[in-house]
């Protein structure tokens, strides 16, 4: 159980993912649930994934979501979200997850999730398929299997040479129960680091990206190796160099490789709130990924221009499920927005999307504590027979309203 106090606000949670802003030190509870998620990975669109122990092994994490948990009670009125897999690999204990994207390996190894299986003594692999605003994970052949029962891959990362590096805890005991029973049997001297190359992949030369100019780092965003893109993006965010801001904006709105565009955008988003005019350009983009991130950036900023606010409210009915999802999340975060109609509009428009109704509910039900009359007045504008998503939610709404303390 965790109890966090920050700037007069209290957070109580048991299993959850939180984030802390590196500059402001702001604390945010991102989402809750799952079981022992050792590590987090982000795909080329910025979606977050964790691997878990005991329960299903792969989860797509979305802000404000509450996910299936291994044990313990759920908060009242929770509508839990399930995993994105219907398959299992061998054993059930995972540590570390990595989205691999490097030209040091052939295409069939790239854009996949690599997960350390400490009970299975190997690296399992899942590919990803879009499923509305979320994903489906599909099992692929194991990347490697060890011939040593002590092999425990706890971290997997892409290196500067583009190869996958694996940190091996290397111990006879996988679980704390065994280690407590026999503390003298714990091995503390043989941890290992493996570099796994494809054929004769050369080693990388010594580099110091921190010594490069901001202009050089912008060029690094086009690297086929995610190692360079990630570090260049972070350094650009930390520097927040006004001299390359326009270059990054042009790159984002150009016809560059989508991965380059995304890392350029994340470099700006990580540096602080976007310029209002540029934020509006993102929201008007023909690329749904840029529109979705335009909404997400505005939600993180909280305070936005009138034009940005009005555009976001119009995107509740966007044709892209990714955009609709971010509108549902941002509805309660952007100042000056009435979240009730925006959440209902998004719910009605999302069709059979498997994730958005859950996110709408998680953001809607706290509002019903004090705004139930406003919500019911809003619902009367809709024909429930013609809006199945809203109709399906009404039993939960009824339960929530009846639970309001008089």
Residues 316, 340: Cα–Cα separation, whole Å: 12
Q: What is the pLDDT of residue 406?
A: 73
178-232 confidence digits (pLDDT tens): 889 998 888 888 999 999 999 999 999 999 999 999 999 999 999 999 999 999 9
Q: Are strands 66-69 and 27-34 parallel, antiparallel or unpaired?
A: parallel
In terms of phi and psi (left: phi > 0; alpha: psi -120 to 50; beta: otherwise), the region of 33 is left
Confidence check: pLDDT of 398 > 90: yes
How sure is the predictor about 91, in pLDDT bands with cuts at 50, 70 and 90? confident
Residues 314, 302: Cα–Cα separation, whole Å: 17
341-395 confidence digits (pLDDT tens): 999 999 999 999 999 999 999 999 999 999 999 999 999 999 999 999 999 999 9
Taking CA atoms, 32 is separated from 59, 220, 328, in Å, by 12, 35, 17
Residues 339, 371: Cα–Cα separation, whole Å: 11
Residues 238, 22: Cα–Cα separation, whole Å: 9
> What six digits make up the tokens of 256?
């560059």
363 and 343 Cβ atoms separated by less than 8 Å: yes
Tell me what percent of the chain is helix, strand and coil, each rounded to the nearest 5. 35, 20, 40
Four-way CATH pick for 211-272: 3.30.2000, 1.10.357, 1.10.3470, 1.25.10: 1.25.10
Residues 270, 275: Cα–Cα separation, whole Å: 13
Helix (H, G, I), strand (E, B) or coil at 58: strand
The percentage of residues in the chain with a pLDDT greater than 70, rounded to a whole number, is 100
Neighbours of 61 (CB within 10 A): 20
Cα dihedral value 283, 285, 291, 293, nearest 10: -90
Give domain limits for the chain. 2-196, 211-272, 287-406
Q: What is the pLDDT of residue 116?
A: 96
The residue among 111, 102, 192 whose CA lies nearest residue 153 is: 192
Residues 188, 3: Cα–Cα separation, whole Å: 32
* Mean pLDDT value across residues 31-46: 95
Query: What architecture is the 2-196 domain classified under in CATH?
Result: 6 Propeller (2.120)
Q: What is the pLDDT of residue 243?
A: 98
Q: What is the pLDDT of residue 256?
A: 86
- 0.75 exceeded by the pTM? yes
- pLDDT top residue among 185 and 142: 142
């Amino acid at each position: 159980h965790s109890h966090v106090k920050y700037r007069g606000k209290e957070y109580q949670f048991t299993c959850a993912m939180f984030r802390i802003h590196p500059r402001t030190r702001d604390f945010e509870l991102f989402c809750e649930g799952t079981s022992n998620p050792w590590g987090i990975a982000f795909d080329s669109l910025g979606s977050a994934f964790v691997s878990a122990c005991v329960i299903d092994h792969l989860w797509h994490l979305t802000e404000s979501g509450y996910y299936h948990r291994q044990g313990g009670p759920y908060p009242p009125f929770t509508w839990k979200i399930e995993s994105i897999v219907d398959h299992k690999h061998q054993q059930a204990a995972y540590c570390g997850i990595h989205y691999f994207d490097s030209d040091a390996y052939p295409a069939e190894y790239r854009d996949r999730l690599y997960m350390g299986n400490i009970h299975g003594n190997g690296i399992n692999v899942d590919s990803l398929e879009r499923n509305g605003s979320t994903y489906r994970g599909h099992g692929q052949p194991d990347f490697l299997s060890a011939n040593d029962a002590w092999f425990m891959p706890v971290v997997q990362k892409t290196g500067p040479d583009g190869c996958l590096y694996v940190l091996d805890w290397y111990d006879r005991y996988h679980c704390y129960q065994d280690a407590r029973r026999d503390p003298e049997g714990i091995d503390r001297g043989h941890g290992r680091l493996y570099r796994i190359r494809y054929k004769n992949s050369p080693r990388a030369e010594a580099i110091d990206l921190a010594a490069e100019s901001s202009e050089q780092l912008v060029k690094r965003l086009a690297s086929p190796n995610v190692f360079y893109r990630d570090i260049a993006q972070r350094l650009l965010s930390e520097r927040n160099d006004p001299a390359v801001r326009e270059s990054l904006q042009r790159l984002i709105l150009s016809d560059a490789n989508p991965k380059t565009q995304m890392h350029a955008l994340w470099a700006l988003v990580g540096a602080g709130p976007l310029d209002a005019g540029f934020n509006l350009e993102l929201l008007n983009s023909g690329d749904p990924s840029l529109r979705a991130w335009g909404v997400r950036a505005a939600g993180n900023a909280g305070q936005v221009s009138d034009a940005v606010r009005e555009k976001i409210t119009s995107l509740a009915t966007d044709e892209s499920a990714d955009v609709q999802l971010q509108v549902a999340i941002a509805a309660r975060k952007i100042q000056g927005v009435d979240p009730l109609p925006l959440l209902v509009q998004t719910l009605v428009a999302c069709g059979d999307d498997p994730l958005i109704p859950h996110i709408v509910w998680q953001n809607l039900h706290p509002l019903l504590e004090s705004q139930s009359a406003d919500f019911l007045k809003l619902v009367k504008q809709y024909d429930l027979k013609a809006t199945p998503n809203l109709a399906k939610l009404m039993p939960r709404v009824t339960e929530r309203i009846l639970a309001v303390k008089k």
